[in-house]
Structure 1
Amino acid sequence: MHEISVGINNILKDITIDFISEEAMYLARKYGYAPYMVERYLRMLGYEEALKLIESFENFRKRIAILCNYLRYDCDKLSKKLENMNFVLKNIQWCNYCLYIETAPSSPSIGSTHEYLKGYYYVYRDQASLIPPLILNPEKNSITLDMCAAPGGKAAHIMLLMEDTGLLIANDISRRRSISLLSHFIRMGFKSYIVINENAIELVKKFGKEKFDYVLLDAPCSAEGGIMFDPSRKTKTSIEVLAKLVEREIKLLHTALQLVKRGGRVVYTTCSIAPEENEYVVTKVLEHYDGIEVEEPRLNYWSNGFTKFLNITFDYRVSKCIRIWPHRHFMEGYFICSLVKT
């Protein structure tokens, strides 16, 4: 492994799209997008499917998801209690202790029931957030790091998978956001954790190398996969801002791979559908490492990563990474990649 040196100018040279088609300009004006984003969709998916993606953002049916705290309460009993309050719940096929709300009553809200306040479940705005901890799959009594943990949904799921044993270090640079994380952990009755507030890129200086069995990196990103929740994302991220995000994501993943033990697993995830933040980032980091394997996903319900975009050929192994598309999978757009240090 060599130290990573990245620069905004080099990244911009790689990711800048040199030509915006008339089709992209038309769709960008019609739906209110930055033109480069629509051109990217056209080149990734072709016109017909790109249009389906854009329309899925416009007409997305939001499905609030529930993570049952099975360490504290029986999930079948929880489901019956919520159904008695007129919540209509559906099972999630790839997570047997997870549900989504088909319809909800006007009152109470899902975040104000006695069961919620007692810590029997966690509420997510979408099912996709449940997937990265399932891919991480931490064992009992392990030492696990969540590098960018607030507001705490994925960290709470990790705690369940570890059965509240071992130790979870839940880090977030924001003290304000960490208050939410801590309140959820207290509400749900977890004990095997420490919450810290550090710049995640600097964590090697705090802990040293190869200290963790598992590392989750839910990287701060453009959130382009969540346009249905925040339409400002259609224009918020200029190509220059995107390059800065990519630079930080590369540094964060480099740090994660230094922190994990040999034989340990790093899961890199973003709520972005941009290849620049996903396959590009993983490829750039893999260039600097020997002995890193990209794992086949434990769950195979979703799409694969791209191996080429624009004039860039990515590391062939990123085809094993997971892509979640709103128009294909009816969830928020996500990217998930599992890496093992051999």
Structure 2
Amino acid sequence: MDPGIYSGLKVEAVSTASREFMGEDKYIASIKPSRIAERMAREAGYSPVLVEKYIQILGDEEEAREIIKWNDKPLPETIRCNDFLIPCSELESMLSQKGFTLSRIPWLPHGIEVLEQPIRVGATHEYMQGLYYIQDPGSMLVAYLLGAEPGEVVLDMAAAPGGKSTHIQQLSRDSTTLVAVDISRRRMRALRSHMQRMGFRSYVALRADSRMLTSIAGAGWADKVLLDAPSTGEGIIRKDPERRRSRSQLDVLKVHYLQLELLYTAVDLARPGAPILYAACSTSPEEGELVISRLLRLRSDVEVETLEAPIGSPGVETYLGMEMEGEVRKCLRLWPHRHGTEGFFICRLKRKG
């Protein structure tokens, strides 16, 4: 989603704290690429700042070259079998008979890679019948890590077009009360369509700016909260090569504050003791570890939980000379060159109490 769709609404606590962060922000906004980064950027058609960030985050020029190389490889087409309607083995058989070549993704129980497709994977009768959802591997991981249980009230704060919302309902057998919120009218239409197509009924869809939810619905009521935050999309260069040079650091910081406001609100909406799963499709710490770090500086009623994930690297603890607050190492990073996925950040928090 384009983060620009969000209005100028501000979360007061975050807006006030932004003055405290001003010195850090000026430093982040004025990253000076090294000569090596400048040269690598010219060779690969990247923003020099993005290449410098790769070097800073990964700590190694050669590994930065490796991620640039991997970003040139198209992201594999992958689908998530909807075993709420059909066993995955039956779906595989049906698609194989139509000429599809498929391979199970070993670390995703419902993930299938489409190696060959005689027709577009989004144009089959099976797709129209809701038997699968087209979804990237990193995105599939999120609902498993949220771990919604039957009977819970689950809030998805940036839900459309519905990939993670439908997955939550699939894993809970449509037995959670899912509150799916998104600001985009167009994307909410897609969410409702996917929910209907895939057979899910136990949800409420609300078009709203999730930063307003405490005013709309009060605080402290969600058993679990998912925030797959609007992002710069720096993690999906494999799908959208333009993103290798289309975002400035000022763009990144603007999105950072939107993410921080949404996550601050997520904690308010969670009941005491409830988990909050934060995710962002970005390789930038400004959209991952720094969001978590600053949230922990603003609030004493939240902590980072350990993630038990089948793949991933630890969160980045030091960035541009800044030490992150809290135990961000417990967070999870997916890298194209290490894990074969899009670039992704996931962190599980808990509201204390």
Per the normalisation by structure 1, the TM-score is 0.95
Q: Residue type matched to 1:244 in 2?
A: K
2:230 matches 1:220 = yes
2:62 matches 1:62 = no
2:259 matches 1:235 = no
Match of 1:272 in 2: 282
Q: Is the CA contact 2:159–2:180 (under 8 Å) kept in the aligned structure 1?
A: yes
Gaps of at least 5 residues in structure 2 are 1-11
The counterpart of 2:48, out of the listed 23, 29, 35, is 35
Match of 2:307 in 1: 297
Q: Is the CA contact 1:217–1:256 (under 8 Å) kept in the aligned structure 2?
A: yes
| SS at structure 2 position matched to 1:3 | helix
Note the 1:89-168 alignment, pairs <5 A: 89-105=102-118, 107=119, 109-124=120-135, 126-168=136-178
Gaps of at least 5 residues in structure 1 are none
Aligned-residue offset at 1:19: 2.8
The total of aligned residue pairs comes to: 337
Counterpart-to-counterpart distance in 2, 1:249 and 1:183: 27
2:305 matches 1:306 = no
**Which deviates more from structure 2 when the two are superposed, residues 263-272 or residues 96-105?**
96-105
Q: Is the CA contact 2:220–2:269 (under 8 Å) kept in the aligned structure 1?
A: yes
Match of 2:344 in 1: 334
Aligned-residue offset at 1:320: 0.5
Aligned-pair Cα RMSD in Å: 1.5
| Deviation digits for residues 86-139 of structure 1 (CA, Å, limit 9, x no counterpart) | 21111122222221112222x2x2112111111111112x21110111110100
Aligned-residue offset at 1:323: 0.2
Aligned pair in 2 of structure 1 residues 97, 300: CA closer, same or farther (>3 Å)? closer
Q: Is the CA contact 2:296–2:303 (under 8 Å) kept in the aligned structure 1?
A: no
| SS at structure 1 position matched to 2:110 | strand
**Which deviates more from structure 2 when the two are superposed, residues 218-227 or residues 68-77?**
68-77
Aligned pair in 2 of structure 1 residues 103, 6: CA closer, same or farther (>3 Å)? farther
Match of 1:74 in 2: 87
Aligned-residue offset at 1:273: 0.4
**Which deviates more from structure 2 when the two are superposed, residues 274-283 or residues 113-122?**
113-122
Q: Residue type matched to 1:86 in 2?
A: G
Q: Is the CA contact 2:305–2:348 (under 8 Å) kept in the aligned structure 1?
A: yes
Counterpart-to-counterpart distance in 2, 1:95 and 1:89: 14
Q: Report percent identity of matched pairs.
A: 36
| SS at structure 2 position matched to 1:20 | coil
| SS at structure 1 position matched to 2:122 | coil
Counterpart-to-counterpart distance in 1, 2:267 and 2:326: 19
**Which deviates more from structure 2 when the two are superposed, residues 49-58 or residues 91-100?**
91-100
| Deviation digits for residues 15-44 of structure 1 (CA, Å, limit 9, x no counterpart) | 234432111111111212221111111112
Q: Is the CA contact 1:63–1:127 (under 8 Å) kept in the aligned structure 2?
A: no
| SS at structure 2 position matched to 1:195 | strand
Counterpart-to-counterpart distance in 1, 2:290 and 2:338: 22
Q: Residue type matched to 2:75 in 1?
A: K
| Deviation digits for residues 124-157 of structure 1 (CA, Å, limit 9, x no counterpart) | 2x21110111110100111001101111111110
Q: Residue type matched to 1:3 in 2?
A: A
Counterpart-to-counterpart distance in 2, 1:14 and 1:204: 33
| SS at structure 2 position matched to 1:335 | strand
Counterpart-to-counterpart distance in 1, 2:189 and 2:253: 30
Q: Is the CA contact 2:230–2:280 (under 8 Å) kept in the aligned structure 1?
A: yes
Q: Residue type matched to 1:21 in 2?
A: S
**Which deviates more from structure 2 when the two are superposed, residues 216-225 or residues 293-302?**
293-302
Aligned-residue offset at 1:14: 4.4
| SS at structure 1 position matched to 2:159 | coil
